[in-house]
Structure 1
Amino acid sequence: MSSRFGLRFFHNARQSMLRSQQRFASSSPAVGTNAVPPNPAAGNAGQGRVAQLWNSPVGPKTVHFWAPVMKWGIVLAGVSDFARPAESLSLSQNLALMGTGLIWTRWCFVIKPRNIFLASVNFLLFCVGATQTSRIFLYHQSLKDSTLGEEAKKAAKEEGHLIEGMVKDPQGALKRAEKA
């Protein structure tokens, strides 16, 4: 039974490969002819806008569409933090948002297919992170007139002490969070 399944699998795989080779050969112009190869952009010319979007390499049938849609949630959460006071914002979290937004914006132009929708989401994620980070730095600067580097070190130490406290005493951290 298992050997029969294996033979059937390889037979079907070979047939599939031959069919795809035939499709490729029939879509390319014959060698030595003056035939013009088909334009991939013009392949959807007879379709409507909705059909073009649906069949696009970054359309709703692909992860290239749904990943940016889901990532908008992170951007909207960052935007909603604009209403929070700067002393309650996390510097490390907003630096991470800023860094990932910047890195992935660049990467969206490198990958194929190039995904402008995802690049726009990542760029706005960078903008949200940069805005929140600047708010945090300006808040700390207003408390004490010191250099920007000192403020970054101080904020990082505060975040580190907070995390250490959570690791050492998770129950106590939970109780302090419930009080706040």
Structure 2
Amino acid sequence: MSDSHAGLQTTPSQTVGPFFSFGLVWPDGPFVVPEGTPGAVRIGGTVYDGAGAPVPDAVVETWQADPDGRFDHPDDPRGAVRWKDFRGFGRSATDPEGRYSLLTVKPGPLPAAGGGREAPHLNVSVFCRGMLVRLVTRIYFPDEEANAEDPVLTSIEEARRATLIAAIAGSEPPVTRPRGYRFDIHLQGEHETVFFDL
């Protein structure tokens, strides 16, 4: 390097966005299954920043197995299986109050590496301004006995496991609306959601 460049430093990285609604959102995104699918559940919540304020321009993505614990994907070692109109993938932008919502079905358990089973869960990615990479977490269900034996959930400090378990939100009027689960995502702070380093 010449003397004229000796004092130069690397240009700092830039943060992502905010451009999510322009490039990442599409009308069918929050529908992992079509409206009216028997057994459909709604999963939603609020994305909060480290100060506890809602994040109005985040994107929440989910990837999950079908109710039989199978994937319509060539990487499933048991073979790809298509379950009705299930897509396996969902994407929801947050609204001005930081809320997201997805319509899906509860997944089945999965075989775990080395034997055993993983409890039903959704894999979640969170994208938002100020982050260079996505954050990855999971949503588990509160009414699953299999949670007690899930190798990922049980590897986490017991006091923090609750940040990965959704709360039952109940049915919403009118009665025809699907049962719901609430899962808030805290990016930082006292109630920070557990995120995985992948």
Q: Same fold (TM over 0.5)?
A: no
Which structure would you say has the larger RCO, counting Cα contacts within 8 Å and 6 or more residues apart? 2
Given the two structures, how large is their TM-score scaled by the length of structure 2?
A: 0.23
Determine which structure has the larger helix proportion and give its number.
1
Given the two structures, how large is their TM-score scaled by the length of structure 1?
A: 0.25
Q: Which has the larger radius of gyration?
A: 1
